[in-house]
Structure 1
């Protein structure tokens, strides 16, 4: 028995030691104070130091790049381009007048570590605009380039670079170098539109169209355009101009020959946040703001929805739907437009302006979920939930499920029992999918007054979790386990650099694409009322989107979203352990700790890559450790 006891103790000691992965997979001495850490969608950690930027791939023993060309960078000088492996680094604001202030721009590929563009290397003294265009994978730069003759060094110029080949495609001047006459301001006012056959540049003199070799094609007197979008044929182009007071938007329509196709431009109140070209017309959402004014005459903080004729720009609706808040969800369907308001409310309008719902649906504030289900449209807010008929707006459940307004609401569908499960304010509600009958399945009390923000079905059991708590219930609501890991301290979480990024949210961010007002030559607006609980659909959409670009870096990002997320079967929690503050990896099915990583810091700064399964930890003010969480 004595020998068995010794063996058991030895095995226990070995298992305990195996759980503690205190030795990092790789460590990186950056040689300068680390000010900020950012985990990219591609899984590379970017550290901003007193010297510049450093890129860390946890699978490599040394940083994949160090960019110190511009020295220390402020947070606002580093832009991570959505849905791409690119970082745009900026120093100095672009001026409309040549020779005032030198501006510097650089474009980095954080996957390969290459500096694709550096304005100093290419003798750009001033940069007006620097835009990455996807999916064409081009960079369009405008400004003053100090090469050539005396006059050429003073004339605004545009250059287009191929990001895959990392070389200049073509460049041209916006004005004739040395032109005699009154000086004209040819500064670029917005994002150029790259089309298959030519490029349109919005300038202070008007829109200029140039061939891909820089030849003049046409120009207009439409000045001050901020961004543009073309229809699928690229024969009709819409330009958006923010008015001088910054409160309204003018929409212009031109042909691919530069002809103005509308007799007058169309003015909408507010700043356009969503614009979609449909067979029936143009759907426009614009957001109005009071600017903080409390005057009764001030503009209300709300969205306006307009539906315009593509041929004339005239409003096709006799009466615009009232929103009484900001549009949070906007979906175009076969029979009309469905929208949800952040302040509460869902409605649906036909393309000819008729209300399809019998009356606007009243909901609680902050519509967290609007999704397709077999029974209809399911919505979940901070205080209520229901399913409604998408044709009529009738409630499928006899009455909405109401609960105390909760900062976090989690939900899932239990297919085995044909029921919806919603966890809010410490209660789990089970709603029969056919009858809509509601039962209180269980009450959960999470420590530190947390509420569940994640919920999923696991082998017939119900898993719920929050930052410090996780529990598993059987299908009758009986607890199988409840694990709580005390937070190190409140101040710790103020220091955490980002915490845990959910795989689903990363996929959603990648698939959402660019909102109106950004580079409209990019991926089209994401307009898909997803099926409820269909997280895999978002990940696949992200993977397919990256795979559609013929570039090795995008292919690597595509493969990343095809992989199984490291958090599929485990949760990572920062807590206070016997040996100090650390991160624990807890199995979702058993509630058992599979790994502990002790962080020798009471207030650690770290980032967790939930997809790749790595922990990036700022060990000292100059050092980062990378731990494998697999």
Structure 2
């Protein structure tokens, strides 16, 4: 299924391991017989498990004895026909949309609210014969459909139409035709070319004939001849609108600017090389990050694999920077601050440019590759890469620590701040370092050797102690670096074993991440904080609070459920869930973070278990057989 990574593990257990005695819990709290073969299981950001079967989709809420919904209207669905909308309780189901005959044959769409279990929209019941586009708009909580609806007279039944539905009430707000039904003359292509832009007063539809603006009752406002726009975003006043159009070869992007009255505000559009991956609208203009790709070509004439950063004038569209900053790689971090733009490169390097194009750092900062952390601290900008870490002055780029902390290139780096000792703690490649926050002095704090050649990817302060973990290992150090415990739970099979990722947390981050630049635009114009704001180090709750506030503001029952979920304390706050080989077979153990001991174990009785763990609610979903799912409460 698109949008969400699947955390389904196929494991072969051949090794044995002894674990401390623990509570057996092999009887599930809930059993769901779906009556059809289960093909995939997806844990949603809202905490509902969605199973794809040979007959359709089934939603499971562990608090209910029966499925929250069953959608079999379209039969068995291909993975690409199911679209989980990020940061929402919605699934869009499509059939025929990707067919090469999509414009000629019937296409079907449906929108499901997986929390309430309701099918909000079904093209079959609303007489839509062809669906061109189907877009959910948040936070307005609207659904915008374009296509051919088999209603009205013979001319209306063949004229492209747009309809706007309210997702909370499940009712049609308004609809309108993109062309006059029965118009005499040459046929015109009014296909919708991109994502509509819904503003407070108007709706703008990008079409092959240009932009069409309507009032919220469907009445005409204006038309603009800018054709082929793929997505749009407005500034906070909604008086200035930027339209983004991918060029025919798909390698570059044209940017247009229009007013809320449809007037073109730039004399000419502006082309940036590559596809836009990030942007920020500012009073001076629009800062744009675009990614170029060689497409795998080794030719000396091939495009470089790197990002470009441009700053286009609000009034003319001209690049305000005479010389674009060199990136020599892809922009991994992009933050807008009061005095300029701060960015970090995936291949290594950090720099800061003023809004008039001057370099604010005395010289570009050299760093290791893969900048995992860039955040603000009381001492300055802290960065942590796969090879080094340091704090630098945010104004000048000068080092705050005497020299960077360097370590072997590590597959994972974990860090935290010990407020009681006023020090940073960083774990990399088996070594734990302590860095005094005031002096920057570095000491080797401890060595932690994990089995199966794992390295710590999580570090957490717990009552003055330091907890570290990986997929199969957990350890606790005291405040002096002495080992309190180290426990190892052998993986069921080391051969070809895929390490368990945090399913619920990964899904949550997927839901909040930018699916593409069109959706990213909403994050940059709402009142809950921009994703281009530099965060504070160790402020784990910031994104969750931002998401919770956003969900709560929508004023819909399903979003209220999601808001409460993001406010809740995760089940992993005091426990770690690990898949391992138990005496009775492969199973999942719940390990106490303070003691390292097993509080609970569940034997899955399957050499190749397929399962999902909701680490927020503490629920284990296990595919017991071809048609049955068990749900276990890991909190008990």
TM range (shorter): over 0.9
**CA distance 1:514–1:233, change in 2 (3 Å):** farther
Where do 1:334-353 residues align within 5 Å?
Answer: 334-353=338-357
Q: What is the SS of the residue equivalent to 1:339? A: strand
Q: 2:90 aligns with which of 82, 86, 94?
A: 86
**CA distance 1:159–1:340, change in 2 (3 Å):** same
Where do 1:307-322 residues align within 5 Å?
Answer: 307-322=311-326
1:281 equivalent in alignment to 2:288: no
Residue 203 (structure 2) aligns with: 199
Q: 2:583 aligns with which of 555, 561, 578?
A: 578
Residue 608 (structure 2) aligns with: 603
Q: What is the SS of the residue equivalent to 1:517? A: helix
Residue 61 (structure 2) aligns with: 57
Residue 8 (structure 1) aligns with: none
- Deviation of the 1:478 alpha carbon: 1.1
Residue 542 (structure 1) aligns with: 547
Give the total of aligned pairs.
612
Contact 2:43 2:507 in 1 (8 A): no
Contact 1:26 1:61 in 2 (8 A): yes
1:482 equivalent in alignment to 2:502: no
Residue 395 (structure 2) aligns with: 391
Residue 411 (structure 1) aligns with: 415
Q: 2:226 aligns with which of 222, 226, 232?
A: 222
1:356 equivalent in alignment to 2:360: yes
1:501 equivalent in alignment to 2:506: no
Where do 1:126-275 residues align within 5 Å?
Answer: 126-275=130-279
- In structure 2, what is the Cα distance between the partners aligned to 1:342 and 1:322? 13
1:530 equivalent in alignment to 2:514: no
- In structure 1, what is the Cα distance between the partners aligned to 2:546 and 2:578? 29
1:556 equivalent in alignment to 2:561: yes
Q: 1:33 aligns with which of 32, 37, 43?
A: 37
**CA distance 1:53–1:239, change in 2 (3 Å):** same
- Deviation of the 1:97 alpha carbon: 8.7
**CA distance 1:370–1:303, change in 2 (3 Å):** same
Residue 627 (structure 1) aligns with: 632
- In structure 1, what is the Cα distance between the partners aligned to 2:573 and 2:26? 23
The C-alpha deviation readout for 1:205-238, integer Å capped at 9, x for no partner, is 1111111221221111111000001111111111
Contact 1:274 1:516 in 2 (8 A): yes
Gaps of at least 5 residues in structure 1 are 1-15
- Deviation of the 1:490 alpha carbon: 3.8
- Deviation of the 1:500 alpha carbon: 2.8
Residue 13 (structure 1) aligns with: none
Taking only aligned residues, the RMSD between alpha carbons, in angstroms, comes to 1.7
Contact 1:95 1:126 in 2 (8 A): no
- In structure 2, what is the Cα distance between the partners aligned to 1:275 and 1:519? 9
Q: What TM-score do the two structures reach when normalised by structure 2?
A: 0.94
Residue 589 (structure 1) aligns with: 594
Contact 1:79 1:87 in 2 (8 A): yes
Q: What is the SS of the residue equivalent to 1:112? A: coil
The C-alpha deviation readout for 1:401-460, integer Å capped at 9, x for no partner, is 111111111111111111111111111111111111111111111111111000011111
- Deviation of the 1:501 alpha carbon: 2.7
Residue 617 (structure 1) aligns with: 622
1:43 equivalent in alignment to 2:47: yes
- Deviation of the 1:101 alpha carbon: 1.8
- Deviation of the 1:517 alpha carbon: 3.3
**CA distance 1:55–1:502, change in 2 (3 Å):** closer
Contact 2:287 2:310 in 1 (8 A): yes
- Deviation of the 1:195 alpha carbon: 1.1
Residue 386 (structure 2) aligns with: 382
Residue 517 (structure 1) aligns with: 518
Q: What is the SS of the residue equivalent to 1:386? A: strand
- In structure 2, what is the Cα distance between the partners aligned to 1:306 and 1:413? 36
Q: What is the SS of the residue equivalent to 2:573? A: coil
**CA distance 1:493–1:547, change in 2 (3 Å):** farther
**CA distance 1:334–1:519, change in 2 (3 Å):** closer
Residue 466 (structure 1) aligns with: 470
Residue 9 (structure 2) aligns with: none
Q: 1:365 aligns with which of 369, 376, 383?
A: 369
- Deviation of the 1:74 alpha carbon: 1.1
Residue 68 (structure 1) aligns with: 72
- Deviation of the 1:123 alpha carbon: 1.0
**CA distance 1:457–1:520, change in 2 (3 Å):** closer
Contact 2:514 2:520 in 1 (8 A): no
Contact 1:94 1:126 in 2 (8 A): no
- Deviation of the 1:476 alpha carbon: 1.4
- Deviation of the 1:561 alpha carbon: 1.1
Residue 109 (structure 2) aligns with: 105
The C-alpha deviation readout for 1:456-510, integer Å capped at 9, x for no partner, is 111111110000000001111111111000101146845x8x753364x555545
- In structure 1, what is the Cα distance between the partners aligned to 2:633 and 2:241? 49
Contact 1:265 1:313 in 2 (8 A): yes
